[in-house]
Amino acid sequence: MSQQAPPQEDATGRKELDRVVIRFAGDSGDGMQLTGDRFTSASAIFGNDLATFPDYPAEIRAPAGTLAGVSAFQVHFADFDILTPGDQPNVLVAMNPAALKAHLKDLLPGGLLIVNSDAFDERNLEKVGYSANPLTDGSLAGYQFFEIPMTKLTVEAVKGSGVNKKEAERSKNMLALGVICWMYGRPLEPTVAWLEKKFSKKPNIADANIAALKAGHAFGETAELSAYSVKPAVLAPGNYKRITGNQALAYGLIAASVQSKLPLFLGSYPITPASDILHELSRHKNFGVRTVQAEDEIAAAGMALGASFSGHIGVTTTSGPGLDLKSETIGLALSMELPMVIVDIQRGGPSTGLPTKTEQSDLLHAMYGRHGEAPLPIVASYSPSSCFWAAIEATRIALKFMTPVILLSDGYLANGAEPWRIPAIEKLPDLTVKFASQPNVGDDFWPYLRDDDTLARPWAIPGTPGLQHRLGGLEKADGTGNISYDADNHQLMTDLRQAKIKAIEEDIAPLEFDADDGATVLILGWGSTYGAIGAAVRRIRARGKKIARAHLRHLNPFPKNTEEVLRRFDKIVVPEMNMGQLSKLVRSEFLIPTININQVKGLPFRAGDLENRVLEIIDG
Amino acid sequence: MSQQAPPQEDATGRKELDRVVIRFAGDSGDGMQLTGDRFTSASAIFGNDLATFPDYPAEIRAPAGTLAGVSAFQVHFADFDILTPGDQPNVLVAMNPAALKAHLKDLLPGGLLIVNSDAFDERNLEKVGYSANPLTDGSLAGYQFFEIPMTKLTVEAVKGSGVNKKEAERSKNMLALGVICWMYGRPLEPTVAWLEKKFSKKPNIADANIAALKAGHAFGETAELSAYSVKPAVLAPGNYKRITGNQALAYGLIAASVQSKLPLFLGSYPITPASDILHELSRHKNFGVRTVQAEDEIAAAGMALGASFSGHIGVTTTSGPGLDLKSETIGLALSMELPMVIVDIQRGGPSTGLPTKTEQSDLLHAMYGRHGEAPLPIVASYSPSSCFWAAIEATRIALKFMTPVILLSDGYLANGAEPWRIPAIEKLPDLTVKFASQPNVGDDFWPYLRDDDTLARPWAIPGTPGLQHRLGGLEKADGTGNISYDADNHQLMTDLRQAKIKAIEEDIAPLEFDADDGATVLILGWGSTYGAIGAAVRRIRARGKKIARAHLRHLNPFPKNTEEVLRRFDKIVVPEMNMGQLSKLVRSEFLIPTININQVKGLPFRAGDLENRVLEIIDG
Amino acid sequence: MVEPNREPIVDDVTQDRGVTEGGATATLTREDFVSDQEVRWCPGCGDYAIMAAVQGVMPELGIPREKMVWVSGIGCSSRFPYYMNTYGIHGIHGRAPAIATGVATARPDLSVWVVTGDGDGLSIGGNHLIHALRRNVNLKILMFNNQIYGLTKGQYSPTSEIGKVTKSTPFGSLEHPFNPVSIALGAEASFVARTLDVERKHLPEVLRRAAAHQGSAFIEIYQNCNIFNDGAFIALTGKEGRSANRIYLEHGKPIVFGANHEKGVRMTQEGRCEIVNVADVGEDKLLVHDEHRDDPSLAFALSRVADGPTGPTPLGIFRDVQRPVYGEGIEQQLRRASESQGPGDLEKLLATGDTWTVN
Amino acid sequence: MVEPNREPIVDDVTQDRGVTEGGATATLTREDFVSDQEVRWCPGCGDYAIMAAVQGVMPELGIPREKMVWVSGIGCSSRFPYYMNTYGIHGIHGRAPAIATGVATARPDLSVWVVTGDGDGLSIGGNHLIHALRRNVNLKILMFNNQIYGLTKGQYSPTSEIGKVTKSTPFGSLEHPFNPVSIALGAEASFVARTLDVERKHLPEVLRRAAAHQGSAFIEIYQNCNIFNDGAFIALTGKEGRSANRIYLEHGKPIVFGANHEKGVRMTQEGRCEIVNVADVGEDKLLVHDEHRDDPSLAFALSRVADGPTGPTPLGIFRDVQRPVYGEGIEQQLRRASESQGPGDLEKLLATGDTWTVN
Ligand SMILES: Cc1ncc(C[n+]2csc(CCOP(=O)(O)OP(=O)(O)O)c2C)c(N)n1
Ligand SMILES: Cc1ncc(C[n+]2csc(CCOP(=O)(O)OP(=O)(O)O)c2C)c(N)n1
Ligand code: SF4
Ligand code: SF4
Ligand SMILES: [Mg+2]
Ligand SMILES: [Mg+2]
């Protein structure tokens, strides 16, 4: 770790570090998410690789100063390519006692601690049960510790910008940002520009924030806080964009619409952490994207189904509780064999659970959460930017095989940001579809006359003369699609529905794996554990141990070579943020034993924890 | 089979048979269900063992004479204990050409065929595509074949009872019943009594039906139709009652209410084939049973949950599509750790599927059909009368472990009837519960302070002073039950919820198995395949082969000795009316390979088919 | 890119065979709208009459069959789409208005009709119904009200009368029924009407009016279920009742009824509609019906003249007003967006925001 | 067996500590209804004022805390039960009326209150709400209407005005909003009222009336969300608006409002409520409010005086009529059944029907 290695100095006399993990923590009202976001943006533009992890309470603004109200944002930036937002911060910015109390335990020994001393008054200390003031009782001895009277400084600094006291104090997060920007040599310009744009209608608010930002920067300089630098990372050349998972997912859906020349229709009902996809898509009407905020999730799915029947890419986005409600409609789409994309941004369950925390516990629900024999494909994103790929892939499968597809992401990917190398449009797959336009049996049109290869049925959309047909959820005769209660036909249709999904294995990329030769242990992952597993693998290799890893992006069907890959290794380790759901699928599918590493804490794995667990398995 | 063996004659000169399978088939409007039902009743009272299988279309009354409109009822009665309604009938009563066309293929070669010749006119023949009249074109040569002008005879017979022609003709099903009663020596009295009671308000209708019944009986005698007898079965002594699965299930719930001294609350929304439970329970208000027909399945489950919170046994009954809709509410009950019973009468899926046909395809949905880590117990009935046991067992587990429990039955069990040895009340388990009545931590009440053995939390119901508390779906701190976003607490609660369900294995009967010594093949079943597997096992043994069988009544958790039982055998054969759902659970739980026999036709297995498949496995 | 994006869907395929074929220009007949599917209602079911009326009216509308989509839920009534030679969705129980909203908002070029039942539409589907009406989605919603659950063999429904004995209420129902017209008006519906399955003239006329209405049209159709609720509407269909109890609402006309128009409806000072003898009050005191009144209070008051079809009951169009149509609003926003921001350009979209270049 | 079956549940446990303790007889204070849970609404949220009013009124009702159950769905408003020292269920989104119906029908001895939001109650939960009102379940339903989705950070709701710009409608909402009072009346509600979070006197009074009402009471409470929809009710809360726009409905009194009661409401011949200058028409021509009118038309017409809280808006009790209470009906049927058939006897039940004996 950089803290250990004797740091170099760069030209400007700043100590060089290869990586830093900063956590901003304060009241829900303190604007920590925005502060972290701005610092991240500045670092991105500066050229670091980075990963972020916002962590905030389910309440909008729990009462000021309480533990329940603490909101935090962690950013990891480095001069090399990194995979996670970092396990523990080496810098903690705490805007009040609650923030300190909630997050100090994570700060690395000897780490840098910056607090807003103005917030450490009797009442606030009491609120979180500090008997003595930690700033003065010596309990912070183990850290490099700076107290800054941020509130006072801010009020001072913004005088003249003509904002009232309340607004003035609100700018203190910018002061904190200014301090950190100075310490890590980040330019202020991007933030200044952003503030001017954002508050163009309220210039005095803009001025106040800018003044505070600059004051913080100046303070850092005059107070001679230690100054560091983290060089730009050497990333593959190209255009980069900082993107969150939900944003990438929304872009992927738009891209799928453009590449298929089909309009995109989103039926959705707001729910954390999926709402931002609805928000993002409703901003791009010039792409012909229709977004409807439905009365509930059932309606949202129903609307998407109706749109799919009509020739649109019908999409519905939600989280666990909403997925429960959509099950029946998904079953109908499956029975009507309509292309539809269901996006589930997983969060902590069961029930309302932990709405703002992350989890991977909807896999088996996605797989089996419908009555009857109702198989459908499942695609999973594994990093914020991979959500772009996942959206296109899910749509591709839906359109090609005429089936609803479930896309699994999670809260960690949804809100986490990372630099994304913007793909070349030419490189995107062509998703053009051919609607049925002619009768396919003499003068008749049979909606269930299947394609020999894909077993997909033809898609004839309203407006097409002569192809009028009616579909529903009652069992249909293969071919004609007429209602049929025939016993053998039901068996046939059940077999066909299953065979169609199984056939998709021919159409998807094989499971890639990265193995040291002689490695006997394979870490098999899926979804958002990708980064943590990757970081753990690096550490394990850094210790000279042999290891292999593979990451599933298709959960149903599995890539065709999955069993072959698994059988190459003696031990299959499956880390999941659930109680072992992928492992259940692997075991029943291949009868291969697995060693499970499960964590259900609403938080992503720490690379360090994974490293240790896996080392035990390798050695033990 | 009795048809082969040279039949004896009994005192009355009737040929003795050990077993007969009769299928009554006609128009939805012809009252075949009622006819079969009455014959069954007569046979039951006569003392035969029996099993029935009603098979009717999803439409109420598809147009007269069409194949879509054919409704059938099969009854198997014997002088020994039988296990299924029989694979193929040896007697077929066909009230019209459609019925003949639809069912002739099942009639055993040389079987007895009785048709209503009056219905075989041009129009009716045409409707089902008979070019020639099968009654005259010799195509029925392979059967013992009687044509009876039932309509004419009926109209004749009921003259004077003062009913109009339409009503008169409606009685022809009673004429058919009369004929069959004569042929198999069934007394008419029970039916006469039943008719008088049923039509007490419309005496002339009663008279007409009775007249038709007697006319049929007389016709059989005068026409000297061959007369058979099937002796009473030697059943264990006791009081017997003919009961269907849904009726038994309703009685079981009432019994659970009586045994627990808790009132029963049913929140339900009508759906085939579960509606009859709602109908039955709404008739027993003197047991304090509250039934609410909710606006939908979500409300039905919500009402049951509210009732459970209030100290009732909250129950909700449904079928597949309804189970989809209840998932979110079940998740809440699970998170609130409330005792609740969810009954799913499985039917053909996916989606609306085959509403009146049977299937076992909701097992994985029951197991995993909720977002998040949401384990709950699953109990499955396996014969019509076992639904009584299943209802009590599901309630017992729910009350003891404070958890929602899913009870799986299916359409075949729901509507099928069999003689049931009425249990002695004293033998029923005592389900008394103890509500919390005092603070459990100093002066406070902690709703999540668990019992050390069962891990169940205390049940404090409104009306109890000092124990006021609030529960919801957000994650709760273990003990206090207060909202908690704490990472370690979430892991703890997730572990506890899982451990609580796992612990139930200590509380349920071990898996029994019935094995010939030296048997290497075990047939593992669950649910309504019980009878067919049993019959197949008898046949296999009759062929001198060795076989073993076990039937799971608890699907989650499995009985503690399950793995130990399975490992005793080389081959585990799992027959299911789905694509292999139990097999998936067994494989992932025990990593034991299974040989699956799957049938998804909306119909129960035929013992003969199972026999052959298993023999291949034994031999091959 | 809106247009290019949406249009092709319709055009590509319609070009092939020429829109005219079976299209608006070709005149269609009743038979053209009859599908090849075997009708599976009970003999004598009121649904037959309704279907006949619908198939009779469709050709008049000048809408090609392929531009029509019939959407339903589950129930006897919901089998309807199978019998129409148009595009159709036999959905799931209660969700037809939601599914149809998807069709209508995705494809404003289509004529979208919904068939639902009193259970499908008002019990499990109540929420989707009121929201579709509130949004004024361009849907024509036909609710077959037989005051019973038919397909599930006769349980009471939200429109069944109190005290009704059914399979699920052996001791009589305890639930106060909905008045479908009242709830629709309370849900801001822009077009609300009521008619009767046996109305040979009135039913088709109401259908025509609904088709002409821009936005969502809600039509309650009293329908006899001769198997499980026979005679529920006898007060309106029986010999004497027919003339005595059918109150036909006609725009701009005083509301009179009875064999010789001897009865009428008057509005009291407190805004309640009361039935009076024309002779007693004089024709000029009678309420003059106004379908187009912006304020729904009049229509609502009229809906309270009869809580159930057991006595004098208003039939016809209670309300027919213009409101922005939901789907059209969306189209406008799409058009405006591509006009102001230019048609969507994927390359540009990806390249904007927090971007930087690494060489 | 009904009684023995139900009663013990309550008694067994209550005996132990004596019902009186914290019970009806002991007089309770505001504090007794405050739970130990930390309140987590945003500073300045209107929910605080509503909670204060509720906790102020509860002691007056003479209902022991343990006999009270507060049920909610999901939303900022739905956190309410956690803050009441009674029994409570923080349910799932939109389902509170259904869950509460279970509580109230299972246990008629309890006082059951529902807190819901405009999204929870009218969007996802609309169907359960209208059915609870139709059945007249004994529930007191408080709908906190802030015309926004608060907990999910500011999307429009079914009560948001057309054109509203929110996270999910960057170009403005296209949806015609519900008028909660109108939809409740259309759903046959027996008690319908509207009040305002900041109404120190009016809000408590409405709560008292709701508590006194037998059956379901629906109360729309305009509630300011100062984070995502601040000032939505400024027309009623702002200085001048306060007197100019609050129309207080009082039973038996002519409807007047304005600083000096210079304005009034009149009923037109066509049953529409219009706002007039008292001076112009004369006080005697004004509409006299009647809460107890069986016909809901008057209440409905009053609900249309204001489509949104942007101008003169009626506050108070629109309707308060007696109808059979759903839960009581069930109790009656249970009692009758055990009276006529005798209390349930399991042995007898199992032994009846198609039975026979084998010896
Ligand atoms: C989710 C779900 N719940 C319940 C059912 C069972 N079901 C089918 S139709 C129906 C009600 C039919 O009544 P109605 O809507 O009035 O139509 P009708 O048959 O009277 O025309 C019910 C409860 C179902 N198919 N799906
Ligand atoms: C099934 C489900 N869908 C969506 C959500 C997300 N959600 C929580 S509260 C809410 C709406 C809140 O609005 P409102 O009911 O008006 O309450 P408010 O926060 O404004 O008081 C939504 C959409 C959820 N928790 N569960
Ligand atoms: S059951 Fe009633 S509604 Fe259904 S088809 Fe038969 S008659 Fe018509
Ligand atoms: S978001 Fe709005 S409604 Fe929610 S607590 Fe904050 S102010 Fe109140
Ligand atoms: Mg109906
Ligand atoms: Mg709200």
Q: For residue range D143-169, what is the model confidence (pLDDT) as tens digits?
A: 999 999 999 999 999 999 999 999 999
CA C321 – ligand 6 centroid, Å: 29
Q: Give pLDDT, residue C8.
A: 33
Q: Give pLDDT, residue B63.
A: 84
Q: What span, in angstroms and rounded, lies between the C-alpha atoms of A497 and A376?
A: 9
Residues 6 or more apart whose CB falls under 8 angstroms from that of A503 comprise A401, A453, A454, A455
D310 CB within 6 A, ligand 4: no
Cα D103–Cα D107–Cα D108 angle in degrees, nearest 5: 110
Q: Give pLDDT, residue B7.
A: 54
Residue D120 DSSP class: I
Smallest CA–CA distance, residue C299 to chain A, in Å, is 26
Nearest Cα to A459, choosing from A570, A552, A340, A346? A340
Report the pLDDT averaged over residues A321-332.
Answer: 98
Distances (CA, A) of C210 to C46, C85, C206, D299: 20, 20, 6, 29
State pLDDT tens for residues A220-231. 988 888 889 899
Ligand nearest to the CA of D78: 2
CA C289 – ligand 5 centroid, Å: 30
Query: Could you tell me if A190 and A43 are in contact, meaning their C-beta atoms sit under 8 angstroms apart?
Result: no
The answer to whether D21 contacts B328, with C-beta atoms less than 8 Å apart, is no
Model confidence at A160, pLDDT cuts 50, 70, 90, reads: confident
State pLDDT tens for residues B201-223. 999 999 999 999 999 999 998 88
Mean pLDDT of all residues belonging to chain A: 94
The answer to whether B350 contacts A334, with C-beta atoms less than 8 Å apart, is yes
Report the pLDDT averaged over residues A468-473.
Answer: 98
Q: Kindly tell me the burial class for residue A201, based on how many C-beta atoms sit within 10 Å of its own C-beta (0-12, 13-18, 19 or more).
A: exposed
Chain B residues near residue D6 by CB distance under 8 angstroms: 263, 288
State pLDDT tens for residues B298-321. 999 999 999 999 999 999 999 999
Q: Give pLDDT, residue D26.
A: 64
Would you mind telling me the total number of residues written for chain B in this entry?
Answer: 620
Q: Give pLDDT, residue A9.
A: 74
CA C307 – ligand 4 centroid, Å: 41
- Report yes or no: C225 at the B interface, CB cutoff 8 Å: no
Nearest residue of chain D to residue A284 (CA atoms): D170
Query: Could you tell me if A174 and A196 are in contact, meaning their C-beta atoms sit under 8 angstroms apart?
Result: no
Nearest Cα to B381, choosing from B404, B358, B409, B361? B409
Q: What percent of chain C has pLDDT over 70?
A: 93
Mean pLDDT of all residues belonging to chain B: 94
Of B133-142, C114-123, D88-97, the one with minimum mean pLDDT is B133-142
Q: Give pLDDT, residue D271.
A: 85
Model confidence at A5, pLDDT cuts 50, 70, 90, reads: very low
Would you mind telling me the total number of residues written for chain A in this entry?
Answer: 620
Residue C13 has pLDDT above 60, yes or no: no
Model confidence at B46, pLDDT cuts 50, 70, 90, reads: confident
The answer to whether D175 contacts C300, with C-beta atoms less than 8 Å apart, is no
Q: Give pLDDT, residue D16.
A: 36
Nearest Cα to D286, choosing from D250, D246, D316? D250
Q: Which residues pair with C192 in a beta bridge?
A: C218, C319
Residue B121 has pLDDT above 80, yes or no: yes
Residue B91 has pLDDT above 90, yes or no: yes
Listed residues: CB within 5 A of ion ligand 6? D 117-118, 146
Report the pLDDT averaged over residues A362-367.
Answer: 98
Nearest Cα to A306, choosing from A267, A252, A344? A267
Q: What span, in angstroms and rounded, lies between the C-alpha atoms of C44 and C56?
A: 19
Q: Kindly tell me the burial class for residue D356, based on how many C-beta atoms sit within 10 Å of its own C-beta (0-12, 13-18, 19 or more).
A: middle
Report the pLDDT averaged over residues B467-495.
Answer: 97
Residue A353 DSSP class: B
State pLDDT tens for residues B362-393. 999 999 999 999 999 999 999 999 999 999 99
Residue A114 has pLDDT above 90, yes or no: yes
Pocket test for ligand 4, best of A56, A59, A60, A272 (most atoms within 8 A of CB): A60
State pLDDT tens for residues C186-195. 999 999 999 9
D169-184 burial: b if 16+ Cβ within 10 Å, else e: bbbebbbbbbbbbbbb
CA D172 – ligand 2 centroid, Å: 20
Name the more confident of A523 and B55: A523
Report the pLDDT averaged over residues B566-581.
Answer: 98
Q: What span, in angstroms and rounded, lies between the C-alpha atoms of D322 and D217?
A: 11
Q: Which residues pair with D139 in a beta bridge?
A: D112
Query: Could you tell me if B1 and B17 are in contact, meaning their C-beta atoms sit under 8 angstroms apart?
Result: no
Chain D residues near residue A270 by CB distance under 8 angstroms: 149, 152, 155, 168
Residue A382 has pLDDT above 80, yes or no: yes
Please state the separation of Cα C1 from the chain's center in Å.
34
Q: Give pLDDT, residue A7.
A: 54
Ligand nearest to the CA of D227: 4
Q: What span, in angstroms and rounded, lies between the C-alpha atoms of D164 and A281?
A: 17
Q: Give pLDDT, residue A106.
A: 94
Q: What span, in angstroms and rounded, lies between the C-alpha atoms of A432 and A437?
A: 15
Residue B418: what are its φ and ψ, rounded to 5°? -155, 160
The answer to whether A465 contacts C66, with C-beta atoms less than 8 Å apart, is yes
CA C226 – ligand 3 centroid, Å: 7
Query: Could you tell me if B148 and B215 are in contact, meaning their C-beta atoms sit under 8 angstroms apart?
Result: no
- DSSP for D293-349, written as a single string: -SSTHHHHHHHTS-SSTTSSEEEEEEEE-----HHHHHHHHHHHHHHHH-S--HHHH
Tokens standing for residue C131: 């929201």
Report the pLDDT averaged over residues B260-264.
Answer: 98
Q: How many CA atoms lie within 13 A of A14 on its CB side?
A: 17
- Report yes or no: D334 at the B interface, CB cutoff 8 Å: yes
Nearest Cα to C135, choosing from C40, C216, C75, C54? C216
Q: What span, in angstroms and rounded, lies between the C-alpha atoms of D52 and B436?
A: 31
**Residue B377, preceding peptide bond in cis (omega within 30° of 0):** no
Chain D residues near residue C186 by CB distance under 8 angstroms: 182-187, 300
Cα A462–Cα A466–Cα A470 angle in degrees, nearest 5: 55
Whose structure tokens read 């159409």?
A: A507
Tokens standing for residue C233: 């509407």
Residues 6 or more apart whose CB falls under 8 angstroms from that of A48 comprise A77, A78, A79, A230, A231, A232, A233
Q: Give pLDDT, residue C20.
A: 36
Ligand nearest to the CA of B60: 3
Pocket test for ligand 3, best of C39, C40, C146 (most atoms within 8 A of CB): C146
Q: Beta A378-380 vs A313-318: how paired, if at all? A: unpaired
Pocket test for ligand 3, best of C38, C40, C47 (most atoms within 8 A of CB): C47
Q: Which residues pair with D243 in a beta bridge?
A: none
Report the pLDDT averaged over residues B248-260.
Answer: 98
Residue A427 has pLDDT above 60, yes or no: yes
- Report yes or no: B354 at the A interface, CB cutoff 8 Å: yes
The answer to whether B286 contacts D14, with C-beta atoms less than 8 Å apart, is no
Query: Could you tell me if B336 and B473 are in contact, meaning their C-beta atoms sit under 8 angstroms apart?
Result: yes
Please state the separation of Cα B165 from the chain's center in Å.
37
Q: What is the number of the ligand 4 atom nearest to the C-alpha of D223?
A: 3
Report the pLDDT averaged over residues C192-218.
Answer: 97
Q: What is the mean pLDDT of each run of 10 residues along chain D (359 residues)?
A: 32 35 65 94 96 97 97 98 98 98 98 98 98 98 98 97 97 97 98 96 98 98 97 94 94 96 93 94 95 96 94 97 96 96 95 86
Q: What span, in angstroms and rounded, lies between the C-alpha atoms of A129 and A121?
A: 12
